[in-house]
Copies of this chain bind each other. A is one copy, B any other.
Amino acid sequence: MRHRLKDVAERAGVSVKTVSNVVNGYAHVRPDTRARVLEAIELLGYRPNLNARNLRRGRTGVIALAVPELDLPYFAELARHVVAAAARHDWTVLIDQTGGDPTREREVASGIRDHMIDGLVFSPLALTGADLAAVHPTPMVLVGERVDHAGADHVAVDNVAAAHDMTAHLIGTGRRRVAAIGAQHTVEGVTARLRLAGYTAALEAAGLPVDPTLIAPATHWHRADGAAAMRALLESGARPDAVFCFNDTLALGALRALHDAGLRVPDDVAVAGFDDIEDGRYSVPTLSTVAPDKADLAALAVDLLAARIAAPDGAPPGERTVPHTLHVRESTAA
């Protein structure tokens, strides 16, 4: 049974108007009355009709999640967590696949067409912090890439620490020629630069040389790119005994290339990824990876967005870091 405003009012012994004032967050309600109404709401499990509330406030009840591409399972998994977190605020999430196109990214940061969204959880690829600071009239929380000076809340994993931890794990299993796949030397390649910095720091901490012939670039981070980079590393004569791939899809491509070359994983070459996508739990061999806490990242981003929508000029933009863990599986087992 679904309770209505009237039931809450009766239970709390106040008028319907007073319940409505509490639900809408109006200030002129006495604290003890407010407490009584909130208690009745909780007791009855009353769920305010947020759609009607949104309309009165000029809101749509819709937020957007904008990501470069859903073909990367990381973003598809992130989308599921954001939809779940947004449901707790009674929001509909529409997902915008920008393809990393600057025009699309600008459009979405401006509220899509006619400002149809109340807010935006945004993983930008093309736009810089300065670009975003210039365009964003829509409440916005940035996720994933570290975009400085955007004037917006930002949630990310500590990419340097996470990459360091995985590289140190590979070194700890006795590997001495640890390659890296996924380097990008472009303005957009922020994540790649941070993961490369973590990789380099771990080698240096272990007293190992940073050998440029072991660092393979990848413009995109799909399986095909990982397979191509792995083949190039093998053909170059660099002879890696381990490879840290900057995401799991690169690593799954590398696994396939090693199989095609007749090399055993992890015996000949250990392989590690980043993201903990479902694919790596079922591949042969299963894939060791860095797992960012995606549910935590999504919940933090959505809660920050809710606060920002409620008070656009509230607290100064914040930086939040979500935890990560290493999952050691067959592909790097000692």
Residues of A that sit less than 8 Å from B by CB: 51, 54-55, 60-62, 64, 69-71, 73, 76-77, 79-80, 83, 92-97, 99, 104, 107, 112-114, 116, 222-223, 227, 252-253, 255-256, 259, 278-279, 281-284
For residue A113, which residues in chain B have a CB less than 8 angstroms away from its CB?
51, 54, 60-62, 92
17 contacts between A and B (CB under 8 A): A60-B116, A61-B113, A62-B112, A62-B116, A64-B94, A69-B80, A71-B73, A71-B80, A76-B76, A79-B97, A92-B104, A222-B278, A223-B278, A252-B279, A252-B282, A255-B282, A256-B284
User: What's the least CB distance linking A278 to chain B, in Å?
Assistant: 6
Q: A114-B60, A116-B60 are in contact. Are A95 and B92 (CB under 8 A)?
A: no
Please give 8 more A-B residue pairs, beta carbons under 8 A apart, in addition to A62-B113, A70-B80, A92-B107: A70-B95, A73-B76, A80-B97, A83-B97, A222-B278, A255-B284, A283-B284, A284-B284
User: What's the least CB distance linking A72 to chain B, in Å?
Assistant: 8
User: What's the least CB distance linking A17 to chain B, in Å?
Assistant: 26
For residue A95, which residues in chain B have a CB less than 8 angstroms away from its CB?
70, 94-97
Q: A80-B70, A114-B60, A283-B283 are in contact. Are A97 and B93 (CB under 8 A)?
A: yes
User: What's the least CB distance linking A228 to chain B, in Å?
Assistant: 12
Contact B62–A83 (Cβ < 8 Å)? no
Closest residue to A84 on the B side, CB-wise? B99
Name the residue among A64, A116, A223 with the largest chain B CB count within 10 angstroms. Answer: A116
For residue A80, which residues in chain B have a CB less than 8 angstroms away from its CB?
69-71, 97
For residue A93, which residues in chain B have a CB less than 8 angstroms away from its CB?
96-97
Q: How far is the CA of A60 from the CA of B114 in the complex (A)?
A: 8
Among the listed B60, B253, B281, which residue makes an inter-chain contact with A223, where contact means beta carbons less than 8 Å apart? B281
Among the listed B71, B77, B94, which residue makes an inter-chain contact with A77, where contact means beta carbons less than 8 Å apart? B71
Among the listed B61, B99, B116, B282, which residue makes an inter-chain contact with A253, where contact means beta carbons less than 8 Å apart? B282
Q: How far is the CA of A69 from the CA of B112 in the complex (A)?
A: 23
Q: How far is the CA of A61 from the CA of B113 in the complex (A)?
A: 8
Among the listed B51, B76, B79, B96, which residue makes an inter-chain contact with A92, where contact means beta carbons less than 8 Å apart? B96
Among the listed B70, B79, B259, B282, which residue makes an inter-chain contact with A227, where contact means beta carbons less than 8 Å apart? B282
For residue A73, which residues in chain B have a CB less than 8 angstroms away from its CB?
71, 73, 76
